[in-house]
A and B are shown apart, each in its own frame.
Chain A
């Protein structure tokens, strides 16, 4: 179906929140990882915690961070976006730090976590995801800034 001519739909042309446009895809993948990491950690901690406690606790932590990122990206308010930036940053630091740790000291990680081997067990998606998340959030920060600039310059013009 084609759009009727002469009726521009701003929502279709330009995402109007962090959960629309590319954000829709981002949240879908984040939701998937939130579920995968949390469920896996829950099963591991419940059934064989002593086998690899460090790996399982890190999996659980990763799961919580993914849940937080999924929810805050979906909410998209300025406060939620700030929490999302922190979540994505923690993820990026986590995947790099744990990835390096797991390569340097494989004995601590007899079982894989989402972040071990830089996320190699998950097609390196855990490494790429926070980068896209941060880029998406930065676009929003810029857009809000430019809107604020337009508003303030308009206000200034009004007072002149």
Chain B
């Protein structure tokens, strides 16, 4: 049983935590949402979509985790994390916009750990 390359989930964890750290710094410095945060969210979105593609390819190859329903739920919900956070955070014209983005970064990192628990072939 081959495993999904762990490089992408690991990159998502590092990127998510880095994004959360930077966003929290912006909150601490009382800054509003800026282009840097939106661009970082875009990068996170692309990474998540790449991972969804890799996992779907594995499912298409005939392999199955113990709970297919849970995995598919994660695959559907995952790409919405940066999107929804981006819209919700950009509507806020105060330091709390970046705080919302920090949550998205942390959630992306936690999702990778959960994905690995749901289906261990997805490396971390």
A-side residues, CB < 8 A to B, are 9, 11-12, 15, 20-25, 27-29, 31-32, 35, 39-40, 43, 46-47
Top 8 A-B pairs, shortest CB-CB distance: A24-B92, A25-B99, A24-B96, A28-B100, A43-B69, A12-B93, A25-B96, A28-B103
Interface of chain B residues 20 through 76 with chain A (CB within 8 A)? 67, 69-70, 73
Evaluate contact between A20 and B92: CB separation under 8 angstroms. Answer: yes
B-side residues, CB < 8 A to A, are 67, 69-70, 73, 77, 84-85, 88-89, 91-94, 96-97, 99-100, 103, 107
Residues of chain A within 8 A (CB-CB) of B77 are 35, 39
A21 to B107, CA, bound (A): 21
Contact sample, A vs B, 30 pairs, CB 8 Å cutoff: A9-B93, A12-B93, A12-B94, A15-B94, A20-B92, A20-B96, A21-B92, A21-B94, A21-B96, A22-B96, A22-B99, A24-B88, A24-B89, A24-B92, A24-B96, A24-B97, A24-B99, A25-B96, A25-B103, A28-B88, A28-B103, A29-B103, A32-B103, A32-B107, A35-B77, A39-B73, A40-B70, A43-B67, A43-B69, A47-B67
Given contacts A24-B91, A40-B70, 20 further A-B contacts (CB under 8 A): A12-B93, A12-B94, A20-B96, A21-B92, A21-B94, A22-B96, A22-B99, A24-B92, A24-B96, A24-B100, A25-B99, A25-B100, A27-B88, A28-B88, A28-B100, A28-B103, A29-B103, A31-B84, A43-B70, A43-B73
